[in-house]
Structure 1
Amino acid sequence: MLSRTADHLFWMARYTERAENTARMLDVRVQYSLMPQSERAEQQGWRTMLGVSELNQQFDAKYATLSQKDVIDFMVRDPDNLSSITSCLRAARENARAVRGTLPTEVWETENTTWLMLQQHLKNRMFEHSPGQFLEWVKYRSHLSRGVTLGTMFQDEAFNFIRMGTFLERADNTARILDVKFRFLASDTIQAGAQGEFYYLAALLRSVSAFETYRKVYRDAITPKRVAALLILQEKMPRSLVACMCAVVANLQDVRNDLSRDTERQAQELHAMLQTVSIGAILDEGLHEFLTRFLVAVEELGNGISRDFLLPAESVPAPAPTQTQTQTQTQTQTQTQTQTQTQTQTG
């Protein structure tokens, strides 16, 4: 497969997943804001949500004060915010358009229709009048895109790159949510007592569609330790770190080439670590320290995938990065595509 085609497929999937993750975080935060809480707690809650995507500084540079209305506007439609739902769905659609010949018609039409419907929703300002309904629509369109891909696409290398992008993005997002939410939980902002902790942990579980799964697995009180164990180590939980890395490893094996041995080994080691580590060992190390180490490993893995699969071979002139990929490099700092191209050409 041409590296440029693989690149578009990989990022189409990552952007679609990122839009859904943003919608999930916003939806839970909007629902949680309806609960009785102090003004300080509400402000810190919105700050925490911005912190998941490392957007506090960018938000503060644009808005003098923090309000729910401004945060929703910033996270839904701000074109300068490259993690906003609008920016992500635009990038997903543009990457899909670039490889229409590789995708089944149903997949392309799903991505294109999502973008066209979004324009109507933004025009009607649905995200202001009915934020819950709008965010559910975003999640539904992501589910539809994933389902259509699974149901119609030939499971060749193109399919593997789509799946790899989805699960790498999901692993990064789950780790960020856990890290930021648990640090917030450890602060004195949460309403004191078991009731306040329960509602906060329940909201965290709902943000990754894991509330019912938690009840099925544990059938008991919701505790921070069990929530962390579920979202890190439970292999049957679709958004857990270990489940995401299992999928990344499987798809890497299917597309392996002569250059990817180190990247495949790195993914296997990260997966093996998650399979063998205990929640007790993670908490002894410190959840923040563990998740920070995991996020660094995911970043390095993303760089390895770009280096081994998504860049032109040394003998092929490297094209200038598209606007989509350039924006992604700036926002996530997980892709070193342009730097690697320069090193290859000058080396």
Structure 2
Amino acid sequence: MMLARNADSLFWIGRYVERADDMARILDVAVQQLLEDPTVDTDLMVGHVLTVLGFEPGPGAKSVWSLADRVAYDRSVPGSIVGLLQAARENARGAREVISSEMWECLNATYMGLAEAERRSRRLGPHDFLTHIKGRAAMFAGLADATLSHDDGYSYLLVGRSIERVDMIVRMLLSGDRASSPSWMSVLIAAGAQDTYIRAYRGAVEAEKVVEFMMIDRLFPRSIFHALRVAEHNLAVLDQRPDRVGVQSRALTLLGRARSDLEFIDPVALMRDLPEYLLTLQETCRAVSESIAEEHFHIAPYVSWTDAGLASGPDGEGLR
């Protein structure tokens, strides 16, 4: 059986890398809009992006550069992209015996190269840095799939990645504007879903179809349903309780309930009650994470991201 500290580290490596990747995706779309569309209200847009990502907007002038400084580069904020990758690297350092050398080298090289990537992006623009982060996150995910035994450690990594993915897709959908097709296209681009969506629906970008695709599509790996199913399957593999009816962990029960509710939901009702449903999913992710910490890692439950309902932001709280 895997040591609890190693299981804990793998779970959080999965979460940190996924969040860094998704934050880079959201920020990249926002930066492109701010730079290319002169009609965008910069203060409003920057404040909205900060809120979606769980940061307090704060005082002072707002610009593309101030947004990137705070969300991407700020080493004093553990919740920034740089801070998340540092946390992932430190967790990997403590779990060297259960990850592959290539996974460690990827995270270590990524972290060590952040300063140069930042200097380059300050000359060329934030897009260069954010593209670099997305590429390194994809490399890490590929190395984990290809070089890590698909045992308990791999399952903990996937559970962490999947729970974080649900939370981040929820944030993307909460940022959408029901009346604006460009806004929903931005959501698809941030999720890396635009090409798959267009091939699946072959039509105009409509709010109802985007929400349906991002929430209940069975095949797209970044849909909420798919991520819930992956998390549920891997947590079931890890659940060491006797195989009796109704005897399973609270975390597994919460995941199963969320997946089942989403699987059979009426799309019309989903769109009508979308904000409430998304916030419920966000709270489920929080509760699942706390339950896993208590049941699998044998530590007091804690919350990773403290911005309940996007009302407040961590700015460094909750990272381990």
Superposition TM-score, scaled by structure 2 size: 0.89
Partner Cα distance (2:143, 2:40) in 1:
43
Match of 1:86 in 2: 82
Contact kept? 2:162, 2:227, Cα under 8 Å: yes
Counterpart of 1:106 (choices 97, 102, 106) is 102
Matches of 1:332 and 1:237 in 2, distance apart?
31
Determine whether 1:34 maps to 2:17: no
Partners of 2:40 and 2:219 lie apart in 1 by: 38
Residue by residue over 1:268-318, the C-alpha shift from the partner in whole angstroms, topping out at 9 and shown as x without a partner, is 11111111102211123x211111111111111111111111225xxxxx8
State, as a whole percentage, how many aligned pairs show the same letter.
26
Q: Indicate if the aligned counterparts of 1:306 and 1:335 stay in contact, CA closer than 8 A.
A: no
Structure 2 counterpart of 1:343: none
Distance 2:275 2:148 in 1: 39
CA contact (8 A) 2:17 2:88 kept: yes
User: What pairs with 1:1-347 in structure 2 (closer than 5 Å)?
Assistant: 1-38=2-39, 40=41, 42-55=42-55, 57=56, 59-60=57-58, 63-122=59-118, 124-127=119-122, 129-179=124-174, 181-182=175-176, 185-186=177-178, 197-258=180-241, 261-284=249-272, 286-312=273-299, 331=314
Structure with larger RCO (C-alpha < 8 A, sep 6+) = 2
Maintained 8 Å contact 2:286/2:303: no
How far apart, CA to CA, are the structure 2 residues paired with 1:125 and 1:84? 18
Q: For 1:298 and 1:335, how far apart are their aligned partners in 2?
A: 14
Relative to its length, the structure with more helix (as a share) is 1
Give how far 1:100 is off.
0.6
Partner of 1:192: none
Figure out how many residues of one structure are paired with residues of the other and give that number: 308
**Using the alignment, how far apart are the partners of 1:78 and 1:268 within structure 2?**
37
> How far apart, CA to CA, are the structure 2 residues paired with 1:103 and 1:78?
28
- Mapped partners of 2:19, 2:149: distance in 1: 24
Contact persistence 2:21–2:134 (CA under 8 A): yes
**Residue 301 and residue 327 in structure 1: after superposition, are their counterparts in 2 closer, same or farther (change >3 A)?**
closer
- Letter in structure 1 aligned against 2:165: R
| Structure 1 gap ranges (5+) | 188-196, 313-317, 338-347
State the AA in 2 paired with 1:66: K
TM-score (norm 1): 0.82
RMSD over aligned CA atoms reads 2.5
- Distance, in Å, in 1 between the alignment partners of 2:189 and 2:21 is 13
Q: Is the 8 Å Cα contact of residues 289 and 303 (structure 2) preserved in structure 1?
A: no
Counterparts of 1:145 and 1:109 in 2: how far apart (Å)? 9
2:13 maps to a residue whose letter is M
- Change in Cα spacing, 1:114 to 1:33, as seen in structure 2 (3 Å) is same
